């Protein structure tokens, strides 16, 4: 039962919270030093992870914004240095958070395309592993066998690819492209060195 | 004290944990993970986030089967008035009241549509001639489409019009004695006690007062003028970037940029039953900057209180701001 509830919440986070992270971050950027943004995001996800039930939440995006806003306010109160513009910005977030979430039919299709794009943009070996693991549904062990690489290589690439994808979610897609192509560059030079 | 783990390090570790758990890790690994998580809430947040991203990738396959198109939201058409999409805020206390009456007998080809908005209500109404009206809070107006002209009687309040081009049928707004005439253009008229404020967002309009039809001024996009019932329009002034700000109500927003708290509160009070009152005269003269929803006087009062070091308390239908 517990397990089922967790899964339901996770599914909700995937479709209603995660897609808005880049927006929440760009909103935070207007008020908070870059170093602090990551912490606010982590704390916000922590709060969300503590939810036992999501039935009362109508709009995940709004909830995400509200949570982040609360954390920023707590931080400002603690620091005792009050930036006026930060505060009005916080209040202005009402606007952002009350907007209706985009239509679902579109969102669903966009989500698929986005997920596919995220995977396709990964460095070559990462991409193969992610496709076998997530699209073909193989286990890591099966992926390792199929690709004839050690299992820990698969595990490492899963971690690496996931990090890139998290980065993409954080930045929105455009900047993510750059990060990905840099990573591909790295892989190429590394492979080159190995080949020599 | 040991150095604080950076957020980036936490994110990397979280991704690594997700990858490790995905190998089908045993109880020992799980226990290790639990210990890692228990040490810091940020780790739990980062791990949860990484899990969510990892779960999201499942949709690359899951979503494949469920992509049927859903019908697009219906497009506004010339259908019964009640089906028009209205933008309403604070729905609880606002009754939708599109009172549309065809004043028909003996007046063929001419119909009058009355539009009334309650306090706090902002309505976007397509007109039959293809024009579009955004009607602000607490407004009463009547639109009459005749063969040779289009007439809007603004009894009270404010509206912004985007006028469909029709050179043969000028579009004239009457606000008291003030007249605003457009052919194909967009502008806002706000009725005040002794005249009307006119702001032009697109094209050109002509403004005059019935009491002095010789004093006609042409206002072009990006300008605004006040026209008094008796003396007619004053010299137009450039609105500059202010225009978007002063017309933000069309999207249910109020934007302030250096207005006094008093003026800002008065603006809010146009939209809400709950009235914001400023008990302290010095406080009333403080300047406000910010953007709010028209229907959230409480958010406004809270922001003002926090920024200006005041306190806000609710008293029945009022929110009173004081400095103690």
Q: How many domains does chain B have?
A: 3
Nearest CA in chain B to A131: B60
**Three-class SS of residue B166?**
coil
Say whether A35 and B7 touch across the interface (CB within 8 A). Answer: yes
Mean pLDDT score across all residues of chain B = 79
Pair (B15, B47) in one structural domain: yes
pLDDT tens digit sequence for B269-323: 988 888 999 999 988 988 877 778 888 888 888 888 877 778 888 888 899 999 8
| Total CB pairs under 8 A between chain A and B | 160
Answer yes or no: are the C-beta atoms of B175 and B158 closer than 8 Å.
no
Q: B121: buried, middle or exposed (CB in 10 Å: 19+, 13-18, 0-12)?
A: buried
Nearest CA in chain A to B41: A46
Whether the per-residue pLDDT at B224 is higher than 70: the answer is yes
Q: Give the bridge partners for B232, in sequence order.
A: B228
List residues bridging with B255 in a β-sheet.
B291
Q: Do B159 and B12 reside in the same domain of the chain? A: no
Across the interface, whether the CB atoms of A45 and B11 are under 8 A apart is answered no
- Predicted confidence at residue A26, as pLDDT, reads 85
CB contact under 8 A, A91 and B24: no
Report pLDDT for A189.
55
In a domain, B49, yes or no: yes
Residue A42: list chain B partners with CB under 8 A. Answer: 7, 10-11, 41-43, 45-46, 49
The per-residue DSSP string of B38-90 comes to HT-HHHHHHHHHHHHHHHHTTHHHHGGG--PPPPPPPPP-S--GGGS----SS
Any idea which residue has 């920023």 for tokens? A72
Same domain, residue pair B177 and B269: no
Residues of A in contact with B54 (CB under 8 A): 162
Q: Tell whether B135 and B221 lie within a shared domain.
A: yes
Do B88 and B220 lie in one domain? The reply is yes
B226 and B190 housed in the same domain: yes
Residue B105 has pLDDT above 80, yes or no: no
Whether B18 contacts chain A with CB within 8 A: yes
Q: What's the pLDDT score for residue B102? A: 34
8 Å CB contact of B299 and A87 = no
B313 touching chain A per CB within 8 A: no
CATH level 3 topology of A104-195: Arc Repressor Mutant, subunit A (1.10.10)
Alpha helix positions (H), A13-79: 21-29, 34-49, 60-79
**How high is the pLDDT of residue B162?**
85
The shortest CB-CB distance from A165 to any of B44, B45, B53 is to B53
Residue A139 C-beta-side C-alpha neighbours within 13 Å: 9
Task: Kindly report the CATH number assigned to the domain that includes residue B140.
Answer: 2.60.120.1440
- 3-state DSSP call for residue B214? strand
Question: pLDDT tens-digit profile of A124-146?
Answer: 999 999 989 988 888 999 999 99
Report yes or no on B73 lying in a domain: no
Structure-token match 């007046």, residue found: B107
Q: Is a pLDDT exceeding 80 seen at residue A86?
A: no
Beta-carbon separation of A155 and B299 below 8 A = no
DSSP B221-288: TTEEEEEETTTEE---EE-TTHHHHHTGGGGTEEEEEEEEHHHHHHHHHTT-SSEEEE--HHHHTSEE
Q: Tell if the CB–CB gap between A151 and B23 is shorter than 8 Å.
A: yes
Question: Looking at the domain assignment, is residue B108 inside a domain?
Answer: yes
Which residues constitute the domain of residue B21? 7-63
Instruction: Indicate whether A94 pLDDT > 50.
Output: no
If asked whether residues B236 and B275 sit together in one domain, one would say no
pTM here? 0.47
Residue B255: CB atoms within 10 A of its CB come to 21
B298 part of a folded domain: yes
Mean pLDDT score of chain A: 77
In terms of domains, do B34 and B164 share one?
Answer: no
Residues B11 and B157 in one domain: no
Digit-coded pLDDT (tens) for B14-45: 999 999 999 987 888 999 999 999 999 999 99
For B47-90, how does the pLDDT look when each residue is reduced to its tens digit (9 = 90+)?
A: 999 999 998 888 766 433 333 333 333 323 233 333 333 333 33
Chain A CB contacts of B253 under 8 Å are 95
Q: Are residues B16 and B43 in the same domain?
A: yes
Q: Is B253–A159 a contact, with Cβ atoms under 8 angstroms apart?
A: no
The pLDDT assigned to B140 comes to 93
Give the pLDDT band (50/70/90) at residue B112: confident
DSSP summary character for residue A134 = I
Low-confidence winner among A12-16, A107-111, A189-193 (lowest mean pLDDT):
A189-193
A38, A127, B2, B51, B317 from A142: Cα distances, Å:
35, 16, 41, 21, 66
Which of A16, A45, A136, A137 is the best residue to mutate to test the B interface, defined by the most B CB atoms within 10 Å of its own CB?
Answer: A45
Spatial separation of the C-alpha atoms in residues A40 and A67, rounded to whole Å? 9
Q: In B, which residues are within 8 Å of A163 by CB distance?
A: 11-12, 15
Interface confidence: ipTM more than 0.90: no
| Contact in structure between B290 and B255 (CB atoms under 8 Å) | yes
- Percentage of residues of chain A with pLDDT beyond 90: 27
**B196 and B317 both lie in a single domain:** no
On whether residue B68 sits in a domain, the answer given is no
pLDDT given at position A92: 54
pLDDT of A104 higher than 60: no
Q: Does the CB of B38 have a partner CB in chain A at under 8 Å?
A: no
| Chain A residues close to B12, C-beta within 8 Å | 159, 163
Distance CA A40, CA A127 (A): 30
Residue B177 in domain: yes
Q: For residue A124, give the DSSP letter.
A: H
Where does a domain end: B184, B216, B240?
Answer: B240
Chain B partners within 8 Å of A91 (Cβ): 290, 292, 299-300, 302-303
Please state the domain extents for chain A: 2-98, 104-195
Q: What is the pLDDT of residue A135?
A: 82
Does residue B76 sit within a domain? no
Whether B247 is in a domain gets the answer no
The Cα–Cα gap between A187 and A181 comes to 10
Asked whether residue B98 falls in the same domain as residue B225, the answer is yes
Using CB atoms, pick whichever of A43, A98, A118 lies closest to residue B293: A98
């Amino acid at each position: 039962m517990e397990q089922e509830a967790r899964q339901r919440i996770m599914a909700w986070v995937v479709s209603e919270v995660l897609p808005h992270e880049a927006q929440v971050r760009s909103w935070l950027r207007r008020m908070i030093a870059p170093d602090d943004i990551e912490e606010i995001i982590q704390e916000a996800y922590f709060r969300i992870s503590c939810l036992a039930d999501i039935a009362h939440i109508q709009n995940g995006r709004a909830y995400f914004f509200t949570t982040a806003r609360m954390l920023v306010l707590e931080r400002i109160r603690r620091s005792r240095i009050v930036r006026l513009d930060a505060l009005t910005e916080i209040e202005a977030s009402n606007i952002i958070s009350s907007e209706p979430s985009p239509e679902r039919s579109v969102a669903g299709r966009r989500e698929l395309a986005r997920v596919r794009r995220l995977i396709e943009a990964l460095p070559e070996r990462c991409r193969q592993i992610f496709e076998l693991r997530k699209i073909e549904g193989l286990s890591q062990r099966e992926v390792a066998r199929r690709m004839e690489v050690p299992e820990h290589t698969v595990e490492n690439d899963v971690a690496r690819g996931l990090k890139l994808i998290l980065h993409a979610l954080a930045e929105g897609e455009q900047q993510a492209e750059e990060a990905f192509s840099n990573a591909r560059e790295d892989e190429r030079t590394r492979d080159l060195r190995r080949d020599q | 004290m040991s150095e604080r783990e950076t957020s980036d390090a936490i994110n990397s570790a979280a991704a690594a944990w997700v990858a490790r758990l995905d190998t089908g890790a045993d109880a020992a690994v799980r226990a290790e993970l639990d210990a890692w998580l228990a040490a810091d809430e940020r780790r739990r947040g980062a791990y949860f986030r990484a899990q969510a991203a990892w779960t999201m990738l499942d949709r690359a396959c899951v979503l494949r089967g469920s992509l049927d198109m859903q019908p697009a939201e219906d497009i506004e058409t010339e259908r019964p008035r009640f089906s028009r999409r209205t933008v309403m805020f604070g729905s609880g206390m606002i009754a939708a009241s599109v009172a549309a009456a065809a004043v028909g007998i003996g007046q063929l080809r001419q119909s009058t549509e009355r539009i009334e908005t309650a306090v706090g209500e902002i309505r976007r109404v397509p007109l039959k001639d293809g024009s579009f009206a955004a009607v602000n809070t607490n407004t009463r107006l009547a639109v009459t489409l005749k063969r040779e002209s289009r007439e809007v009687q603004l009894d009270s309040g404010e509206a912004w019009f985007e006028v469909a081009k029709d050179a043969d049928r000028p579009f004239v707004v009457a606000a008291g004695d003030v007249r605003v005439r457009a052919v194909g253009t967009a502008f806002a008229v706000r009725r005040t006690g002794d005249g009307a404020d006119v702001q032009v967002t697109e094209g050109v309009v002509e403004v005059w007062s019935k009491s002095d039809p010789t004093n006609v001024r042409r206002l072009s996009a990006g300008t605004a003028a006040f026209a008094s019932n008796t003396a007619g329009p004053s010299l137009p002034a450039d609105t500059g970037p202010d225009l978007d700000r002063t017309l933000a109500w069309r999207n249910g927003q109020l934007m302030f940029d250096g207005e006094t708290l008093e003026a800002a509160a008065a603006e809010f009070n146009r939209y809400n039953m709950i009235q914001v009152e400023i008990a302290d005269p010095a406080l009333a003269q403080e300047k406000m900057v910010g953007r709010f929803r028209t229907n959230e006087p409480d958010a406004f009062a809270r922001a003002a209180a926090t920024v200006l070091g005041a306190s806000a308390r609710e008293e029945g239908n009022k929110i009173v701001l004081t400095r103690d």
